Structure 1
Amino acid sequence: MADDVSNAIDFNDIKQSVEESLGRTPEGWSGLVTKLFTEVKEYCDLKGVTYPFVLQIKEKLGEFRIYHRCDDRHIQSMIAETIARANHSCERCGNSAETQLLDGWYKTLCCWCGHDVVSKRHPERHRLFGVQKKPIRDQMTCSVCGFFAQIDRTDDRNRCPACVKKEW
């Protein structure tokens, strides 16, 4: 059987091929990955190394993934560092983020983008994240919306910055 899998990255148009996989989020994951593969291309051109073969770029269960074939340890390290950074960055805007449960789906969004996404689906709800009627995970969980990992330290009610701004 012939190998008919194409490279997910067109090294002549990196930005376009990344956005085909991840959507247009220049401040978020697609911007991060475009920068990665631009640096990989520069490295390969400088060292005379073959470009890596990228099978797939995607989000799965809220985590960023790059499936590739590459034997060069430096390129592997660059990819691994980008994956680790993405998994703690908002996929839309690049702010610090942790994976959240939103309507049964795992997404890595900051509190601002998370509120934006879920509020459009459920404008009547305040408890937006996690499982309804579950106890708060710890002191890093917003007491109003259930968002985990971003708490406004100036707020005595243990709310995320988005809930504080909305005056929830």
Structure 2
Amino acid sequence: MADDVTNAIDFNDIKQSVEENLGSTPEGWSGLVTALFTEVKEYCNLKGATYPFVFQIKEKLGELRIYHRCDDRQIQSMITATIARANRTCERCSNAAETQLLDGWYTTLCCWCAHDVASKRHPERKRHFGVRKTRVRDRMTCGVCGYYGQIDRTDDRNRCPACVKKDW
């Protein structure tokens, strides 16, 4: 291995290492990944195993990516399960979420966080979200903002909870 490649996780300060890679979202993805590597550390200490080498942790195309080298199947399973969970939860708050296209960038945010981000970027617009990575199913697409994945079932206008609250 090249001398200039360092482990992205310092197992003596997991939280700081994760936040350097993902930013500070303790209720979102950085919280999930911090919990993952805390569990991995406990597992390795219990089994006397070597900590995995983590090359990189990042978001790409709205999905969590953890690039690592590890031969232990239990650790691989823990990482895979965390990635799968993260890719269905909000990057910021861990609410249920779907990947959205916002201003040319894929992002995985719940309707509340997505509205917050989009409204700050474009306060004059109501229709914030565009093309999805998956086929649009009209019953799950907000009729106002275009958010896909969360619809208020008590609303007869097929709106997401954020648009209902804003009375759009």
The one-letter code of the counterpart of 2:34 is: T
Return the offset for 1:137. 4.0
C-alpha separation in 2, matches of 1:98 and 1:11: 31
C-alpha separation in 2, matches of 1:3 and 1:107: 33
Percentage of identical aligned residues:
84
Task: Report runs of 4+ in structure 1 exceeding 4 Å deviation.
Answer: none
Q: Secondary structure at the match of 1:139?
A: helix
Alignment of 1:49-128 (within 5 A): 49-128=49-128
Counterpart position of 2:160: 160
Tell me how many residue pairs correspond in the alignment. 164
C-alpha separation in 2, matches of 1:15 and 1:27: 12
Counterpart position of 1:35: 35
Return the offset for 1:3. 3.6
Return the offset for 1:127. 0.2
Return the offset for 1:67. 0.2
C-alpha separation in 1, matches of 2:121 and 2:14: 33
TM-score, structure 1 normalization: 0.95
TM-score, structure 2 normalization: 0.95
C-alpha separation in 2, matches of 1:166 and 1:37: 39
C-alpha root-mean-square deviation of aligned residues, in Å?
A: 1.1
Runs of 5+ unmatched residues, structure 2: none
Tell whether 2:9 aligns with 1:17. Answer: no
